[in-house]
Amino acid sequence: MTQKQGQVHDCLKVGEDFEVDLRAYQLRRAGRVLKLEPTPMELLLFLVEHRGELVTRDQIVERIWGKDVFLDTDNSINGAIRKIRQVLTDDPEQPRFVETVSGKGYRFIAPVGRPETQVGQDRTHDFARRPIPARGFTGTSLGKNLVVAATAAAILAVATLAYFYLHRKPKLTDKDTIVVADFTNTTGDPVFDGTLRQGLAVQLEQSPFLSLISEERIQQVLRLMGQPADARLTPKIAREICERTASAAVLDGSIASLGSQYVLGLRAEDCRTGDVLAEEQEQPARKEDVLNALGQIASKFRTRVGESLTTVKQHDTPLAEATTPSLEP
């Protein structure tokens, strides 16, 4: 493989007018950055990666949210597709970019290539799809060439995807502060009230990357809002505190019963724009497993928003060993 064939390109040309910048995690048109939230952006990249192929809704859910998710993924996918079409000025009735395959999923139909070449000519992501001339080849040599082309395409796709994940822009920085709301508890078990928020704070405060608004500062802001200092931090109140303290994000947690099991969720939103920065979910089988699941969610969240795996591993004491209330009744 030549150097030109093996290198990973930071940008991909999409259609005639758009570019996807993998390093900056941006969509651009004529050099201008177009606003696209994280979930639609990830979905767009997934569709571009599989250009010309049917991508099912189940594949989208597994790629973006993971298996065993209990969120309203249908509405989330519909909203993400709608935002992609809006930013690409794509008509769902006569699509140029995203084609809906009714009852199954979506297919990205626009040409994809390198910015330095015209779309439709020697496209990096399309070379495996171009027919290989049979003239002058025996059946064996043709088969070998097909295998080589398919292998090269797979290597390039994996390298591009790995490069994107390693270099995408962090959603938070070490200068940002965040507000942790109280968990929404629909289990009917009061043992979770307050305990989960405290446990999450203990886990996140281990991070040298994240900064939580202190309880003293929260109480000051609550008084300015005309609320008692010990007011429950509902999502609405937590967002207002986030805005008043010029913080970057608010974390909303939830716990619900699922038969004899539990569903534990965490969502981070930009309190200025409402954009979802990260979503995580775990399904502990027993009450005794909830704190461990909370620790796993916190670790995943830290990497999602930009902290390196190295510091997460260095500063990740399990909640069972940290100072936090027990869930024993």
pLDDT in tens, 56-103: 988 988 888 776 665 667 778 888 899 999 999 999 889 999 999 988
Asked if residue 276 belongs to a domain, the reply is: yes
Residues 159 and 196 placed together within one structural domain of the fold: no
**% of residues, the chain, pLDDT over 90:** 25
Q: How many CB atoms lie within 10 A of CB 111?
A: 18
Residues 155 and 303 placed together within one structural domain of the fold: no
What DSSP line would sit under 94-140, residue for residue? S-SSEEEETTTEEEE-S-EE-TTS-TTSS-GGGTTTSPPP-TT--HH
Residues 264-273 pLDDT 10s = 999 998 887 8
Per-residue pLDDT at 121 exceeds 50: no
Asked if residue 172 belongs to a domain, the reply is: no
Number of domains in the chain: 2
Per-residue pLDDT at 119 exceeds 60: no
Residue where one domain finishes, among candidates 135, 167, 199: 167
Cα distance between residue 112 and residue 154, in whole Å = 16
Q: What average pLDDT is seen over the chain?
A: 79
Query: Which of 119-123, 145-149, 198-202, 316-320 comes out lowest in average pLDDT?
Result: 119-123
Query: Which of 105-114, 145-154, 161-170 comes out lowest in average pLDDT?
Result: 161-170
Per-residue pLDDT at 250 exceeds 90: yes
Asked if residue 191 belongs to a domain, the reply is: yes
The average pLDDT across 298-312 equals: 85
Q: What is the CATH number of the domain that holds 310?
A: 3.40.50.10610
Cα distance between residue 247 and residue 83, in whole Å = 26
Residues 258 and 182 placed together within one structural domain of the fold: yes
Q: What is the CATH number of the domain that holds 154?
A: 1.10.10.10
Residues 59 and 39 placed together within one structural domain of the fold: yes
Check residue 21 and give its pLDDT: 82
Domain coverage including residue 199: 177-321
Check residue 130 and give its pLDDT: 38
Check residue 174 and give its pLDDT: 67
Residue where one domain finishes, among candidates 143, 167, 191: 167
Q: How confident is the model at residue 12 (pLDDT cuts 50, 70, 90)?
A: confident
